[in-house]
Amino acid sequence: MSKIQAYQKQFQYYRSLAEKAILQISENQLFIAPSPESNSIAVIMKHMAGNMLSRWTNVFETDGEKSGRNRDDEFINTFSSKVELIEYWNQGWEKIESTLEDVSDADLERIIYIRNMGCTLHDAIIRQVSHYAYHVGQIVFTARLLKVKGFESLSIPKGESIKYNVERFAREKEIKHFVDHVNNK
């Protein structure tokens, strides 16, 4: 597996966590901020998609912070429906996916710029995986908070770690990316 493929799997994993979480709540709950100082899931998704579109559009030709991006607006809900929100969310993820399809491991040492600061594509990918993981954690936590009861765990459920480990260690050792096991616990 190439490094780019491993990164693609990481991005897909975090996207799937967020989407599995939002499937467990109502459309109305997407737009609820749990406190005055927090963001709704919709706002977090809007910010993530805005960031993705800025960072991954013409990654080698233009700065990752596009002049047309209005980051402050990303923290104001402007969506009237879940459908509209998901369309924008998908645009962001499609931009990452298409960009990573067009690069190879040989491109990882190429220099790109984010806010006029040069870094390798490799470093930028790590930065973005971390950024998106941070926000996906917020989405999952907020969805779990809003659901109150019956939230289906997205990892090893409470009290099932021993069972999970027994099952995993009963299998032969193998070399795979960890996310290959996520849906096949």
d(CA 178, CA 170): 17
Please name which of 25, 139, 23, 31 lies closest in space to residue 80, comparing C-alpha atoms. Answer: 31
d(CA 84, CA 172): 45
pLDDT-derived band at 175 (thresholds 50, 70, 90) equals confident
Residue 90 burial (CB count, 10 A) = 14
Superfamily for domain range 3-155: dinb family like domain (1.20.120.450)
* pLDDT, position 109: 98
* pLDDT, position 184: 45
Question: Which two three-digit tokens encode residue 125?
Answer: 């990918």
182 pLDDT more than 70 = no
* pLDDT, position 16: 97
Element (DSSP H or E) covering residue 113: strand 111-114
CA dihedral 157, 163, 168, 169 (to 10 degrees): 150
Domain locations in the chain as residue ranges: 3-155
**What confidence tens digit (pLDDT) does each residue in 80-126 have?**
999 999 999 999 999 999 999 999 999 999 999 999 999 999 999 99
**What confidence tens digit (pLDDT) does each residue in 115-161 have?**
999 999 999 999 999 999 999 999 999 999 999 899 999 988 899 99
d(CA 149, CA 102): 43
Between the alpha carbon of residue 7 and those of residues 16, 31, 124, 129, 144, the distances in Å are 14, 30, 11, 8, 27
